[in-house]
Structure 1
Amino acid sequence: MIDLSAEKDLTIEVVEGILFGNQEIKIDSKTKQKVKQSYEFLKGFAENKVIYGINTGLGPMAQYRIDDDKLVDLQYNLIRSHSAGAGQKIPDVYAKASMLVRMRAIMQGFSGIHPSCLELLETLINADVYPFLPEHGGVGASGDLVQLAHLALVLIGEGHVTYKGEFRLTKEVFKELNIKPIEVKLREGLSLINGTSVMTGVGLVNVIKAKQLLNWSLMASVMLNEIVMSFDDHFSVILNSVKKHEGQNKIAESMRLLLKDSELIARREDHFFSGNVDERIFKRKVQEYYSLRCVPQILGPVYEAVESAIKVVVNEANSVSDNPIVDVENENVYHGGNFHGDYVSLEMDKLKLAVTRVSMLSERQTAFLFNSKINEILPPFVNLGVLGLNLGMQGVQFTATSTTAENQTLSNSMYVHSITTNNDNQDIVSMGTNSALLTKKVIDNAYQVQAIEMMALIQAVDYLDASSKLSTSTKKVYDELRNIVPKFVEDTPFYEEIANVVDYLFNNNVEIPKE
């Protein structure tokens, strides 16, 4: 059980525990009281005042006053009219993250909505009841209006949810679990749909899985360096410390720790600096290809991009993105634009570029393994069968190449693709929801490319009969992957093995040792 409080920020570790550790949550009574006070204050403060979304129309129709006897109808109309998304269902874990972020915003007591909203979100998260959230609809300002309307639709007992893997009517699941819809009293509709919760929820999963992918890419890179028995100076302290980038030095440090007890990594001093080299044309490479030698310089910026994205998305998750903001302490209501998703949108665009770079590195390393003329130690396509008769892993390279190419196209920015909408009321928007969802797609693709490289790596280790000489860290990965996929000698379909390795990589983090 994870205790949540308005006074305590979410951390990425807490989020990971809730989303992937099956941890239930409990909101403390002090926080629930704070939400109630916010509601009670707004209810009294709103009398005889004009407050957006309570007694006015919405968006460009804000100039129209709403009669007192129609105020609740307005909130229901807002939820139902904006439940207008299209496309595929956002997967459950991303929907769960979105609920968590929306709940966190309400917990802080600046929303002025009925406490039943907070309590129902807590119940649904713990019961693993996930609202149908469509991929398409949000422009990222006024937040995730369309997707969050679908969430609010569930909270009023309508729409659809996924429960125990089944897509069902909300009212049926609520009846089965004895769950009551929220009480719509004042501005529940506007507050629930007016925020950045979906782009931020998707962003939280993205940063968790991007960091995990980076670790797998790092592990693949060190294993590849072992396979070719590369020199150790390119990840040495001295070489990397003359560059002042934190990420580069962090990656180089991790490489040193991962390879600490490897029997395959060479020292340049024992070869080219020995004074006994008489060759005119060197059989041993003086320097490796960039995809092996420049790993700290390539993955270093990725490390920093991931860490930056974690900071921004966690900050957004701990923010209040409503409009207006209800301030109980100063007894006022402030109108503005906290729903604007620029922070998340820009950061997801940057993360998307970084993850695409990881998939490009993985694809190039795979190409190196498959090209016998370049690596000069392996058969073409790491073919352990009869050359010519058998084709080895030739087919999987097409998948790696095409998937990487798709990532390169998807990495074009959403942040700079604002389109005016809402009768020109929303004249510049963030497109943060699209940016987060496209980043999700890029991450999913990158795991596929990474899985193919991991399969090629362990195949290469088997050909060289080098498993006993691997470092402790890479040997552990080798053993785990060999339990998932067999050694390929005869030609066989690969698609099931690729899917199994993708699933393993996506659902498991690799351990990176620390000093």
Structure 2
Amino acid sequence: MIFVGHGMLSLDDFSELIYKQKEIALDKTALNNVEVNFKFLKKFSSNKLIYGINTGFGPMAQYKVSEENMLQLQYNLIRSHASGSGKLIPAFLAKALMIARLNSLMLAHSGVHTEVVELLKELINKNINPCIYEHGGVGASGDLVQLAHLGLMLIGEGEVLFEGEVHPAIEIFNRFGIKPLSIHIREGLALLNGTSAMTGIGMINIILAKKLLSWSVLFSAMVNEIVEAYDDHYSLELNRVKLHKGQNEIGAMMRDILIDSKMIRDRSEHLYDPANQDQEFFEDKVQEYYSLRCVTQVLGPIYDTIEQAENVLVNELNSVNDNPVIDHENQNIYHGGNFHGDYVSLEMDKLKIAITKLSMLSERQLNYLLNNKLNQKLPPFVNLGILGLNFGMQGMQFTATSTVAENQSLSFPMYVHSIPNNNDNQDIVSMGCNAALMTKRVIDNSFEVLAIQLMTILQSIDYLECRDRLSSVSRALYDEAREIFPKFIEDLPKYKDLRSVKEFLVGSAQIVAATQ
């Protein structure tokens, strides 16, 4: 059980709720504050002009709404903005959105009735998720369109995702005896005005990005084992003179993985041997290619980028991000733009670029293993069959290359792609939800690239017959992954194997613990 409203909700809490199906409970003190905040708004808004309560929205705020139409105004807002298009986001992303919105509302600055947070809690715990579409939000007055579809579900309209299928919301509500939300004052605006779609998706992106980075470190270490690289490029002594946290963390991870490897070489035992000094040409490379030798320098900034994104997104998750802010402690209402998503948008763009670079490193290491002219120790395409007749991993390289190319094209930042709209009321916008969704696509793509890299690493280990010389961490992964993807010699379709290995990488928690 994880209590919402009791202190900061962390990335680990978020992961537990999404991936381990932990249930939510509402902190009683926080719930009481929500009720106090609602009662303050009800009293304070009497006989006053308050945006979004007795006025229109956005550029229509100049128009006053009569008292008898105030509640209808909130329903109109939800229904009119439930205008998304494109693909449905997966259920677990919709759940992430709901958790983010609930956490913000529980901060008791949104003027909502406790019925809203109680209903959100119940739906989250029952895994009843709104049907939310990818296209629609510009991330300025919050994720208006995506959150409107959340609001539509809460009032018993629209559709839900439940047990893998789409159902009318009211049908599932009736099945479980759930009462749809009734509007009390400003629940429509409080649900729509917020960054909860981009934040929820962004939190998932960070969880998955951490897993990708852990795999990339391990695969980089294993490729260094396969080519019998020297150990100084990931040594403490070399990396500590570069004062970046990420680089030193990656170096430490590699040292932990390779500590008992029998394949990594000590430079002093080879190139420093006086017997080698009279040679004019060294068959062994004095230094490896950058994709092997500069792992700490390439993955280090990615580590730092993920850490920065986590700090920003966790702050956003635990922030009041709607408008206006209802402050019962100071007995006032403050109008502004806390719904603006620039913080999230910028971090998602940075994360997207960082993960694209991670996929590029994976592709270069993959190419090194597949190109016998570079590695000079493996057959072309790590072909374990008959050269010319069989093809090994040749076909799979095309998939990896094209997928990385797509990542590179997707890396254009949404943060600077503002387009004014809403009668120029929203004249500079964040495109934060677009940024988060595109980052999610880059992350999904990168798992595919790393899956192909792992398949190639396994084939390389079998060709060299070096399993017993690997580090214990590498050997454990080899054994586990070979249960999913057996050694192959003859040519067979690989698309199902690719899917299985990708699912293993996404679902496994072992490597994260092993490299932290």
Q: TM-score, normalised by structure 1?
A: 0.99
The CA deviation at 1:399 is: 0.2
Give the AA of the match of 2:430. S
Give the AA of the match of 2:93. Y
Give the AA of the match of 1:340. H
Match of 2:85 in 1: 86
Give the AA of the match of 1:439. T
Match of 1:488 in 2: 488
Match of 1:412 in 2: 412
- In the TM superposition, what are the counterparts of 1:318-333 in structure 2 within 5 Å? 318-333=318-333
Match of 2:337 in 1: 337
Cα distance in 2 for partners of 1:389, 1:212 equals 37
- 1:394-448 C-alpha deviation (Å, 9 max, x unpaired): 0000000000000000000100000000000000000001000000000000000
Match of 2:210 in 1: 211
Match of 1:473 in 2: 473
SS of 1:455's partner is helix
Over aligned residue pairs, what C-alpha RMSD do you find? 0.9
- 1:152-189 C-alpha deviation (Å, 9 max, x unpaired): 00000000001111111000000001111112010000
Give the AA of the match of 2:447. Y
Match of 2:508 in 1: 508
- In the TM superposition, what are the counterparts of 1:54-453 in structure 2 within 5 Å? 54-277=53-276, 278-453=278-453
SS of 2:239's partner is helix
Cα distance in 2 for partners of 1:427, 1:335 equals 17
After superposing the two structures, state which structure 1 stretch, 259-268 or 273-282, moved more. 273-282
The CA deviation at 1:29 is: 2.0
SS of 1:415's partner is coil
The CA deviation at 1:324 is: 0.2
The CA deviation at 1:283 is: 1.3
User: What is the percent sequence identity of the aligned residues?
Assistant: 54
The CA deviation at 1:491 is: 0.3
- 1:437-477 C-alpha deviation (Å, 9 max, x unpaired): 00000000000000000000011000000111111111111
Q: Does the 8 A contact of 1:420 with 1:428 survive in 2?
A: yes
Q: Does the 8 A contact of 1:53 with 1:187 survive in 2?
A: yes
Give the AA of the match of 2:85. A
The CA deviation at 1:17 is: 0.4
Q: Does the 8 A contact of 1:161 with 1:168 survive in 2?
A: yes
Q: Does the 8 A contact of 2:220 with 2:295 survive in 1?
A: yes
For structure 2, list consecutive stretches of 5 or more residues without a partner in the other structure: none
The CA deviation at 1:82 is: 0.2
The CA deviation at 1:383 is: 0.3
The CA deviation at 1:280 is: 2.1
Cα distance in 2 for partners of 1:512, 1:255 equals 14
Give the AA of the match of 2:469. K
Moved >2 Å (runs of 4+):
511-515
Number of residue pairs the alignment of both structures matches: 514
Cα distance in 1 for partners of 2:433, 2:514 equals 35
The CA deviation at 1:281 is: 1.5
Q: Does the 8 A contact of 2:143 with 2:197 survive in 1?
A: yes
Match of 1:38 in 2: 37
Match of 1:17 in 2: 16
For structure 1, list consecutive stretches of 5 or more residues without a partner in the other structure: none
Give the AA of the match of 2:478. Y
Cα distance in 2 for partners of 1:488, 1:295 equals 29
After superposing the two structures, state which structure 1 stretch, 99-108 or 273-282, moved more. 273-282
SS of 2:37's partner is helix
- 1:41-86 C-alpha deviation (Å, 9 max, x unpaired): 1011000100000000001000000000000100000000000010
The CA deviation at 1:514 is: 6.7
Cα distance in 2 for partners of 1:49, 1:123 equals 34
- 1:312-366 C-alpha deviation (Å, 9 max, x unpaired): 1111000010100000111100000000000000000000000000000000110
Cα distance in 2 for partners of 1:118, 1:183 equals 12
Cα distance in 1 for partners of 2:387, 2:279 equals 32
Cα distance in 2 for partners of 1:366, 1:336 equals 50
The CA deviation at 1:513 is: 4.3
Q: Does the 8 A contact of 1:292 with 1:365 survive in 2?
A: yes
Match of 1:457 in 2: 457
